[in-house]
Amino acid sequence: MTGELQHTASHPKSYQPRMPLLWWLKNGAYTKFMLRELTCVFVAFFAFVYLWELRAVAQGADAYARFLARLETPLFLTLNVVALLFVLFHAITWINLTPTVAVVRIGGTRVPDGMIVGSNYLAWAVISGVIFWFFARG
């Protein structure tokens, strides 16, 4: 996790067997792990869609209209549906991990995992609502 290992007397070069390239297809849990890791590709894709939109708005009304027209093509509709599924997978796994990452104590008592997860889902719903309200007004 911290880059290259230093091979010293106290830390000799370890035996690193090579696994088959598709090792993560052997087991459902491995495949799920790899799919979760690959959600980042669709996160980057959508960040670039917004950079594209930003460039279009900077260039003018015509460029913005062309951007909107391009998103109506079957290619981009398909990409966006797939991206939505992966981004939802990312959001759900991310929120479900919050009690593991952040242990909250109030008055010496640990806040139950369900409450941390629940409040995150609530926050997600509220934020999504605000986005719909703000950006769907036209």
Q: Is 94 in the site for other proteins (CB under 8 A)?
A: yes
49: enclosing H helix or E strand: helix 28-59
Contact assessment for residue 104 and residue 110, using Cβ atoms and an 8 Å cutoff? yes
Contact assessment for residue 104 and residue 116, using Cβ atoms and an 8 Å cutoff? yes
Q: Is 68 in the site for other proteins (CB under 8 A)?
A: yes
Query: How does DSSP assign 52-105, residue by residue?
Result: HHHHHHHH-HHHHHHHHHHHTSHHHHHHHHHHHHHHHHHHHHHHHTHHHH---E
| CA–CA dist 48, 70 (Å, integer) | 14
Q: Is 47 in the site for other proteins (CB under 8 A)?
A: yes
Which one of 27, 32, 34, 110 is in contact with other proteins (CB under 8 A)? Answer: 34
Which amino acid, residue 108? G
Nearest to other proteins of 48, 115 (CB atom): 48
Which one of 75, 81, 105, 106 is in contact with other proteins (CB under 8 A)? Answer: 81
| Rounded least distance, CB 67 to other proteins, Å | 9
> How big is the CA angle at 35 (ends 128 and 75), to the nearest 5 degrees?
65
Nearest to other proteins of 1, 29 (CB atom): 1
Which one of 26, 37, 66, 103 is in contact with other proteins (CB under 8 A)? Answer: 37
Contact residues toward other proteins (CB under 8 A) are 1-4, 16, 18-19, 21, 24, 34, 37-38, 40-41, 43-44, 46-51, 53-55, 57-58, 61, 64-65, 68, 71-72, 76-77, 80-81, 83-84, 87-88, 90-91, 94-95, 123-124, 127-128, 131-132, 135-138
